[in-house]
Structure 1
Amino acid sequence: MDLRFLHPLYEHSGPWASVYVDTSRHTESTPHERHLTAAAMARRLAEQGADDATCRAVESAIDDLRHSSEPNGRALFARAGRVVLDPPLARPPQGDTAEWAPLPRVAPLLELAGQDPVCVVAYVDRRGADFELRSGLGREEAGSVAGRQHPLHRTSTADWSERHFQLKVENTWEHNAGEVAAALSDCQEETGADLLVLVGDDREVRAVHERLPQRLRDRVVEARHGAGSRLLDEDVEQARTEHTRRRAEAELDRFLAARAPDDEGRTGAVEGVPALVEAAREHRIDELLIRVDGPDNHREVWIGEDPDQVAVRRTELRALGEQNSWAARADDALIRSAVATDAPVLVVPAAGEEAPVGGLGALLRWK
C-alpha cells in the first residue's frame, strides 16, 4: 500500500488526535446520532489530555458528517486545533474510536482504507476507449482516447477495390489499438494503477493487450462481460481481489526467501522489533510487512521528533543525542519511518508459520 498521502501527518510533531468514525448506518435518526458521536469523541479525547482547540476541531468535523451518505466511515487526524487529514474508509471500522498519542494512529488504515489495488477499466471499441479509475473508495472518469474514425467497417464483397478498402479497415483497427495502448500506458503511469481491466469485444481487447508495453503485461485482465453487463462489476472486483491476494502471497514468499543469508552473510529481510528499529534508523526499509494480529504491533518503542529517531530503549535515543523522546506503538513508529522514505507497507495474511514473526517484518534495501 502506497502511504505517501500520509506525509502531512509527519510534517509536524505531536501529540495527535486519531479518530475513526463509522458512517455505514443510515436511518432517520442518523444526523442526531452523529451529533452525539461528535460530542462523545471530543469528550474521549479531552479525557486523554487533548487540548480544547483540537477537541473542538474534531467535534466540528464529525458533526459535519451528520448528513453524509458515505458508505463506510472516515478517519480524522488532528493537532493544534486543526484536522490535518480526513481520508474516507473503504470499509467500516469496528466501532467509533478516538486516541490521543505522540504519533497518529495510522495502522488501522492499512485495513480500513483498503489495500485493494487501484484499477483502470478501459472500455475499448474500434474507435478508441474510455478510461475509468476504480479503487476501494469508488470510481471516477480517467480520460479517453479517440483513434482514426474512417474506415471502420468491413465489407464481404470480393471486388479488388473492396478488398483494398478492407485492408484500410484492418490498418485503422491496428492504428487505433496502438493509440489506445499508448494512452492506457500513460494513464497507468499518471495514476499509479496496479491493475488494468480491458472491456470490449475479444478482437479489440486482444489487439490492445498485445500492444501494451511488456512492463504492464502481468497487470492486465480481460473482463469476461462487456460494458453494460450487470456482471462486469463482479469481474472487476474479482480481478482486484485476486491481484491483492497474489501480490500478498508473492511478497510474503519473497520475504521468507530473503531471510536466508547470501554469500556475504547478509540477509535481505528482518523481523522483530529490535532489527526493524535498526533498519528504520539506517533508512534501509524497502517494504514494511505487517500482520495485523501480530503481538509486536503494540509493543512500546521510543521515538524522537524525526522519523529515524526510534529506539527500543529510551537511553538509546539519548545516546544518539536526542533530548526529547516519547513512548509509541511499534507499528505506528515503523509506519512513520516507512512513509518518510516512501517505502510501501503491505498487510500480509496470517500464514501457517505466522510470518513475519511477531507480526512485523521488512524487506531491506542496501546502500
Structure 2
Amino acid sequence: MVPHADLRAFNEESDWFATITLPTPSDLDDARARFDLEWRDARAQLTDTWQADELDQLDRVVGDLHHRDSAGLVIVQARNGPTLVEHLDEPVVATVHEGPVPRWATVIEGRQRTIAHVIVETDRAGADITAFDGGTVLCTDTVVGDTEHIHRGHPGGWSQRRFQQRAENTWEDNAREVADAVAEVTQRVDAQLVAVAGDVRAQTFLLEHLPTDVADIAVKVEAGSPGGIADEVVRQLSNLVAERVTAAADSVRAGLDSDLAATDADTIVDALRQGRVETLLVHDDLSTDDDVDSRWLDGARLVDRAIVAALATDAEVIVVPKLAIMDAPVAATMRW
C-alpha cells in the first residue's frame, strides 16, 4: 500500500488550501459549545478567497462532526475541491493556515502514533480479543474453551495427579484455541503489537502457542485492571513510535558518509526534485524562516513543500522531534 495515498491525491485537487486544527475535548460539560465557538473563530480567520458555497460546505462538514470522537481535528479544505477531516487521538491547539499546499505534518504525526494493536484478556477457559487502531475498535472475538476439567481439584489419593494433569491439558488446549484466534485477528488488522493480560498460567500457555511472527510482537501485561492494562498498552505503543524514530535517525547517520543521506536543506530539496528521497524526516516547529530556493517554495514553508514533494514520489514521511543530526527542519535518506 502506498503510504498516505489519500494525502497525495488530495494535493492534486487544488492550488490553494486551508488547514485548520481544532481541539475537541470531551471531558467538559460545555464541550459542544466550546467546539462550536472554536469553529466560528477559525471560520472568521479564513480569507475572502473562499466562495460562499465553499464556506457553506465547510459548515455542513463541521456541523456533522462530534467532539467526542477524538481529542482533536485537522480539517483541510481544497479551494474549489473536497474537504478532508482527520480525527486525532492527541489534543491540538486551534490554528488556521492558508497556502499553496496543505500542512500535513500534524496529520502524519497522528497517523504514525495510531498503531493497530490487539489486546487479549485471557483466562484458563478462553479469552476476549479486541483489535484497536488508536482509540477505534476494529473488531472483537471471544474464545470459549472446554470447562469440564478447568479446575484442579484436590481429590486425594492415587487420583490426584490424574485430575491435575487433566486440568493442565484442558488449559493448554484452550490456549491453543485462543492462540489461533489471536493470530487470525492480528493478521486481519495488520497489528504491530499484541498485549496479553489475564491469568498468569493462561498467559504462559498462550504465549507458548502463538505463531512465531505473532509471538515476536507479543508482550505480557501484568496489570489486572482495565486502567492498568490501558496504561501499559499506551507505554508499549509509545515505545514502538520512539523505536521507529530512532531507527530512522540511525539510517540518516549511517548514510551521511556515502551520500545516501542528507541533513542540509538545499541538498534535500534537490533530491526531492529528482525523486531520490526514500525517507523524509521532518521536525515541524511551525517556523516560516526557510533559507532555501524561494521559487521552489512558492510561498509555502519548507516543511510543507517537502512533505508534498515526498508524497508525490511515494517516499516515506516521518515526523520527528528536533534531532541533534538535523541542521534544518528536514533530513532524508536517499534511494540512490
1:22 to 2:23 alignment: yes
1:233 aligns with 2:230: yes
Change beyond 3 A, Cα 1:11–1:190 = farther
Which residue of structure 1 lines up, in the alignment, with residue 186 of structure 2?
188
State how far apart, in whole Å, the 1-side matches of 2:208 and 2:140 are: 21
Deviation at residue 64 of structure 1 after TM alignment: 4.2
2:143/2:181 contact within 8 Å kept: no
Cα deviation, residue 101, structure 1: 1.9
Q: Secondary structure at the match of 1:50?
A: coil
Verify the 8 A CA contact 1:23 1:72 in the aligned structure 2: yes
Identify if the C-alpha distance between structure 1 residues 234 and 288 changes in structure 2 by more than 3 Å, giving closer, same or farther. same
Q: How does 1:169-184 map to 2 (within 5 A)?
A: 169-184=167-182
Kept after mapping to 2: 8 A contact 1:93/1:112: no
Which has the larger displacement, 339-348 or 99-108?
339-348
1-structure distance, mates of 2:211, 2:6: 28
Give SS of 1:275's match: helix
Query: What residue is the counterpart of 1:245 in the other structure?
Result: 242
Q: Which residue of 1 aligns with 2:95?
A: 97
Equivalent of residue 355 in structure 1, options 305, 318, 325: 325
Cα displacement (A) at 1:87 = 1.2
Report if the CA contact (8 A) 1:73-1:91 is conserved.
yes
Provide the C-alpha distance between the structure 2 equivalents of 1:7 and 1:168, rounded to a whole number of angstroms. Answer: 58
> Counterparts in 2 of 1:99-178, with a 5 A limit?
99-111=97-109, 115=113, 117-136=115-134, 138-140=135-137, 142-146=139-143, 148-153=145-150, 154-157=152-155, 167-178=165-176
Q: Distance in 2 between matches of 1:7 and 1:160?
A: 71
Q: Deviations over 1:63-94 (max 9, x none)?
A: 445x7335522111122456532111222222
Which whole-Å CA distance do the structure 2 matches of 1:210 and 1:141 have between them?
Answer: 26
Give the match's secondary structure for 2:58.
helix
Alignment of 1:271-350 (within 5 A): 271-293=263-285, 299=290, 312=293, 314=295, 326-340=298-312, 342-350=314-322
Question: 1:360 Cα shift?
Answer: 1.0
> 1: CA distance between counterparts of 2:75 and 2:242?
28
1:198 Cα deviation from its structure 2 partner:
0.8
The alpha carbon displacement at 1:345 in A equals 2.6
Asked if the contact 1:77/1:85 (under 8 Å) is kept, the reply is yes
Find the aligned partners of 1:121 and 1:240 in 2 and give their Cα distance: 12
1:75-90 alignment to 2 at 5 Å?
A: 75-80=74-79, 83-90=82-89
CA deviation profile, 1:179-216 (whole Å, cap 9, x unmatched): 33333233233323332211112222122223334344
Q: In the alignment, what sits opposite 1:223?
A: 221
What SS is found at the alignment partner of 1:98?
A: strand
Q: TM-score, normalization: structure 2?
A: 0.80
Residue identity (%): 26
Distance between the aligned counterparts of 2:313 and 2:165, measured in 1?
53
Contact 2:113/2:238, CA 8 A, preserved across alignment: no
Distance across 2 between alignment mates of 1:37 and 1:281:
38
Aligned residues: 333
List gaps (5 residues or longer) in structure 1: 262-266, 302-311, 317-324
RMSD: 3.5
Distance 1:365 1:103 in 2: 25
Q: What secondary structure does 1:88 align onto?
A: strand
1: CA distance, partners of 2:98 / 2:261: 33
Match of 1:321 in 2: none
| 1:115–1:244 Cα contact (<8 Å) kept | yes
The alpha-carbon distance between structure 1 residues 29 and 239, as it changes in their structure 2 partners (threshold 3 A), is closer
The match for 1:68 is 67
Match of 2:304, SS? helix
Taking the aligned partners of 1:229 and 1:300, their CA distance within structure 2 comes to 50
Equivalent residues of 2:263, 2:332 under 8 A apart? yes
Post-superposition Cα deviations, 1:247-291, rounded to whole Å, max 9, x if no partner, equal: 322332232223232xxxxx4422233333344344443332122
Please state if 1:57 is matched with 2:29. no
Q: Does 28-37 or 212-221 show the bigger shift?
A: 28-37
1:210 to 184, 208, 211: 208
Distance in 2 separating the partners of 1:358 and 1:199: 43
